[in-house]
Structures are given as structure tokens and as C-alpha cells.
Amino acid sequence: MEVVAAWERYAQGRTPRREVNSAGARTWLNWTQYPDHGPDESILGDVQGRTVLELGCGTGCNLAHLSTLGAMCTGVDIAPSQQGKAVARWGSLPGLAFHTAEVTDYLSRTEGSFDVVLSIFGPVWFTDPERLLPLVRRRLSPGGVLAFSHKPPTAGTRPVGRPGEAKAVTRWDHTPEEWSALLASSGYSDIKAEVVPPPAGKDAGTLLVRAYT
């Protein structure tokens, strides 16, 4: 409950994403913390006709883009107000559904299978990977991909989160090498974990990970 309240406070404090990006697009997918920067959805392969689950979708802006490309999309977020905002903004798009749920609860009870599971600065960063990674893998179709991004750990900021800490939100701040080992031990293959360099004038890059069933 404390965690729900913390993410709801976060949701209340967020400014909605701008309507149009620098390329003039109304929908787009951004893996990084910087606008108009880094790889786009093409790193997932062709998403047309594929089933996609986003963990921690917020107001659904990234998922909406995949829906415009013909994917059948499901978004899950723990903060109750995010679902309403996502539906208000993107509800007219086809093949797009949003749910309010904690991701391990959702993954434990859903019977759906997904070709793509993604998480952008989302719960893969905020959930014990030893619990989450096997749950995701169980719901991925053969050949399916888990892709996620978050800020890379730095000497000054890690270790940040520890299971059992008296903090509302714990962060699992792993390096690319640590993510690769965790994913391999949960049975994933073709693992690619990298740091996307930051734009000019910024210090922090973005950790981007892909792994297949």
C-alpha cells in the first residue's frame, strides 16, 4: 500500500508528455530519459500483429505508439490514476488495454502470452529480479523478447535499493554485466545489455537490455 501511494504521488506530480515530438510525430517510443534521443521501437523487431505487454506503462505514451504500428497492447501500472489518464489520451486507438495492477500480481494471474514485454524506467528497475524475471519468462511466447531501460548505476549511486529496506520504493540498480547474469540464470538467451550514450552535454547514459526466451 505504501508503494502504491508512493507511485500515485509520483503520478500526480508528472507533467503530461508533449503532444508532438521534434520530428512532428504524435506518437513515439523513447527508451531514454532524454527527449528525441536514443533508439526507437525498431530494436524490438516488427511489432505488427504481435502481442505486447508494458510493465509500468504510466500514461501509456510509449505503448500507444506500438498500437499505431499494429501491435495488440496491454499496459499495467500500479498507480490507480494512470489508467484513467492513459484511457483518456489513447483510448480511441485499437488494440490497446490498460490495467491497474502490481506487475508480479498481474503476471501471476494472467493467462495471456506475449511476444514482447517491455519496461521503460519501470518495474523491472523496482522489483526483485529473482521474482520478476521468471514470471515474465513464463508469459513470453517462444522467441519472445523482454526489453527494458533505466539509468545505469554509477559509483556514487549504487547500491541504492536493498530488499527489505524501510523505503517505499526499492531500486535494483544493476550493471549490464549483472543484468546479463541474472537473465541467463532465469533461462533467457541472446542477451544484449548496453549503455546508450547520453546526448552532448549530459553525463548519464541509459542502460538498455534485451533478452529472448
| Under rule CB under 6 A, residue 103 binds ligand SAM | yes
Three-state SS for 22? coil
Nearest to 25 by CA among 62, 77, 75, 53: 62
Contacts 24+ apart (CB under 8 A), 15-23: 16/59, 16/85, 16/89, 17/59, 17/61
Min separation Cβ 11 and ligand SAM, Å: 6
Min separation Cβ 190 and ligand SAM, Å: 24
Min separation Cβ 167 and ligand SAM, Å: 13
Exactly one of 126, 148, 172, 179 binds ligand SAM (CB under 6 A); that residue is 126
| Under rule CB under 6 A, residue 68 binds ligand SAM | no
Spatial separation of the C-alpha atoms in residues 30 and 12, rounded to whole Å: 21
Report the Cα–Cα distance between both ends of the chain, in Å, rounded. Answer: 32
| Under rule CB under 6 A, residue 172 binds ligand SAM | no
Of 49 and 80, nearer to ligand SAM (C-beta) is 80
Number of H helices, E strands in the chain: 6, 7
Exactly one of 44, 73, 79, 207 binds ligand SAM (CB under 6 A); that residue is 79
Task: Write out the H or E segment, with its range, that includes residue 192.
Answer: strand 189-196
Exactly one of 56, 129, 153, 205 binds ligand SAM (CB under 6 A); that residue is 56
Greatest Cα-to-Cα distance within the chain, rounded to the nearest angstrom:
45
Exactly one of 29, 67, 77, 96 binds ligand SAM (CB under 6 A); that residue is 77
Residue with cell 522489483: 127
| Under rule CB under 6 A, residue 120 binds ligand SAM | yes
Residue with the shortest CB distance to ligand SAM: 56
Min separation Cβ 85 and ligand SAM, Å: 10
| Under rule CB under 6 A, residue 212 binds ligand SAM | no
| Under rule CB under 6 A, residue 98 binds ligand SAM | no
21 touches 36 (CB < 8 A): yes
Residues paired with residue 208 on neighbouring β-strands, in sequence order: 149, 194
| Under rule CB under 6 A, residue 7 binds ligand SAM | yes
183 touches 110 (CB < 8 A): no
The site for ligand SAM (CB under 6 A) is made up of 7, 56-58, 62, 76-79, 82, 102-103, 120-123, 126-127
